[in-house]
Chains A and B, each alone.
Chain A
Amino acid sequence: MSTRVELDNSPILLAARVARAFGNAHRLAYAQITPELTIANVSTNFHAIISNPANADDPVEGRRLDDIFYEFSGTEDTLDMIMQGGLPFFRLEDVNRVRPDGETVYLMFQISPLSDAQPEAGLLLIVEDVTEPAIMRQSLTQERNELRLVRNRLKAANTDLGRLNRLKSFIVTMAAHDLRSPLTTIRSYADILAEDLKGQVENDYIEFLMTIRSQSDRLSRLITDLLDLDMIEQGGLSLKPEPTDMRDVVQEAYDLMAPNAVLHRLTLTNEFATEPVIVNGDGQRISQVLVNLISNAIKYTPEGGRVHVTLGEKDGHAVTTIIDTGNGMTEQQLHKLFQVYYRTEEARESSIVGSGLGLFIVKTLVEAHKGYIKVNSKRGEGTRFAVYIPLASESEAT
């Protein structure tokens, strides 16, 4: 039989009932401490909460407080002050005990006067099992540490990426430099030979030399594309806008590509505005856009086809169109056309060389001019690219 006495009106029983009412009985236990600091009455869950395996066979009642909880050693003066009303309460936090099953429980002890009116009634000890919040706090701390670790790793990875990016930039720039010198030589000697040998050798040979020349031009455009892509990625795309007559720009791109059309046995035709078409733009960059689009049209149009280039004005924009009689594209291909590194399946499987960079750069350059590109394409019929760049008069007005 239990030696515990629970009087109906004892404050301990009252407190235990309150705890039960609030659903806290599993984590709140109570004990009455005599003025001599021995444990008197305890609530029925006391042994369970403090993880005393002995319970009934080894009752805590009648034992000294600091005998059961060594944490109270040396607190006599403090406890005396509480009894005299000099302190409202005394608290011990994060006391831990290992349960018989090996789990650690965390307890919080709070001691306050049992009765304000009667110091001789002794003290009320409330023991709260704070294992759940403690574990939560612990795991929060752990998570915080892990997050800190992850953040540090991310920071380091970011630094590495920045370094790699700068290295990539450096390599692209260096490679471009080292590729351009030999290209200059190849192109120029092909030029010199074609000029000097004209009329002295078969026309086929002159055409071979022109092919060497146009292919080195293409390689050099690819190098420019790589440098431009790098520049765009580094956020350093810079334009030198000035009033520019689009007729000059389109004509320049057209003339540059005309020999290419001959090589591909295509008809290249044009229809340019007769009045000036002035935009506020970087002529070199716009020319680059048009060369890219015309060169694409030539590349992807079979022999005997036609590429038609026009320049006009519409809705406050200079409009350059490049229309080809090539194979056209599907909806799906059109959708991805301007993505970086995108190449259509046919382009990849055919012998047509390309990097998938050109149209991405074209789009970026046109957008940098506050313009846009429209593409219409039909399988088997051909493709029409239209480049819209705001007229200088318009952009000044806005």
Chain B
Amino acid sequence: MTNKILVVDDDLVVRRLLKVILEADGYDVTTAKDGAEALDKMRESRPDLVCCDLMMPEIDGFGVIEAMRNDDNLKAVPLIAITAAGRNSYIERALELGANECVLKPFAKNQLLSIVSDVLHEAQLT
């Protein structure tokens, strides 16, 4: 069964890049351009994994994590925070709120793919 991944980033180019990388590895990828659209889309169709940027307008990545962890249906969906933030505090906050992993931009393709597969694997074991 193909794993469904929802990619959330306000930057179109990064969204496309993630889609290209993840689809080439066999995942079924949908995208959202901000937190609100992401929450709508995952409530419509529950993904197996969310890859979410942290700094976005309106509802940011932290807001997405919080909303997911407070939603019974989305509580268990694993999330990888992808951030270009230079502050450790962002990463720490994301992990505290319930992100499973953090990936720093710029990331290497293979590094991202191995984290995605690890997180999916872990989530499916539990």
Cβ contacts under 8 Å, A216 to chain B: 106
Q: Is B87 an interface residue (CB 8 A)?
A: yes
Cβ contacts under 8 Å, B76 to chain A: none
Cβ contacts under 8 Å, B55 to chain A: 177
Beta-carbon contact of A181 and B14 below 8 Å: yes
Interface string of B12-55 (1 = CB under 8 A from A): 01100100110010000000000000000000000000000001
Interface string of A154-189 (1 = CB under 8 A from B): 000000000000000000110011111111110111
Q: Is B105 an interface residue (CB 8 A)?
A: yes
Interface string of B45-87 (1 = CB under 8 A from A): 0000000000100000000000000000000000000001111
Q: Is B108 an interface residue (CB 8 A)?
A: yes
Q: Which residues of chain A (120-170) have a CB below 8 Å from chain B?
A: none
Number of residues on chain B facing chain A (CB within 8 A)? 18
A40 to B20, CA, bound (A): 114
Q: Looking at the complex, which one of B11, B13, B85, B109 makes contact with A191 (CB distance below 8 Å)? A: B109
| Closest B residue, CB atoms, query A179 | B84
Q: Which residues of chain A (241-275) have a CB below 8 Å from chain B?
A: none
Beta-carbon contact of A180 and B13 below 8 Å: no
A184 to B17, CA, bound (A): 9
Q: A191-B109, A192-B109, A220-B106 are in contact. Are A184 and B14 (CB under 8 A)?
A: yes
Cβ contacts under 8 Å, A189 to chain B: 17
Interface residues on A, range: 20 to 34
Q: Looking at the complex, which one of B85, B86, B105 makes contact with A184 (CB distance below 8 Å)? A: B105
Interface string of A190-214 (1 = CB under 8 A from B): 0110000000000000000000000
A216 to B17, CA, bound (A): 16
Q: A183-B106, A184-B14 are in contact. Are A176 and B84 (CB under 8 A)?
A: yes
Cβ contacts under 8 Å, A223 to chain B: 86
Beta-carbon contact of B13 and A182 below 8 Å: yes
Beta-carbon contact of A188 and B84 below 8 Å: no
Give the shortest distance, in Å, between A354 (CB) and chain B (any CB): 19
Q: Is A14 an interface residue (CB 8 A)?
A: no
Beta-carbon contact of A227 and B86 below 8 Å: yes
Beta-carbon contact of B85 and A177 below 8 Å: yes
Beta-carbon contact of A185 and B13 below 8 Å: yes
Cβ contacts under 8 Å, B11 to chain A: 181
A208 to B76, CA, bound (A): 44
Q: A184-B107, A191-B108 are in contact. Are A173 and B86 (CB under 8 A)?
A: yes
Beta-carbon contact of A185 and B108 below 8 Å: no
A176 to B86, CA, bound (A): 7
Beta-carbon contact of A184 and B21 below 8 Å: no
A227 to B24, CA, bound (A): 33
A182 to B13, CA, bound (A): 8
Q: Which residues of chain B (87-122) have a CB below 8 Å from chain A?
A: 87-88, 105-109
A180 to B87, CA, bound (A): 13
A179 to B86, CA, bound (A): 11
3 closest cross-chain pairs (CB), A and B? A180-B84, A227-B86, A184-B106
Residue numbers of A with Cβ under 8 A of B are 172-173, 176-185, 187-189, 191-192, 216-217, 220, 223-224, 227, 230, 238
Of the A-B pairs whose beta carbons lie under 8 Å apart in the complex, a sample of 25, sorted by A's number, is A173-B86, A173-B87, A176-B86, A177-B84, A177-B86, A178-B84, A181-B13, A181-B84, A182-B13, A184-B14, A184-B84, A185-B13, A187-B106, A188-B21, A188-B106, A188-B108, A188-B109, A189-B17, A191-B108, A192-B109, A216-B106, A217-B106, A223-B86, A224-B86, A227-B86
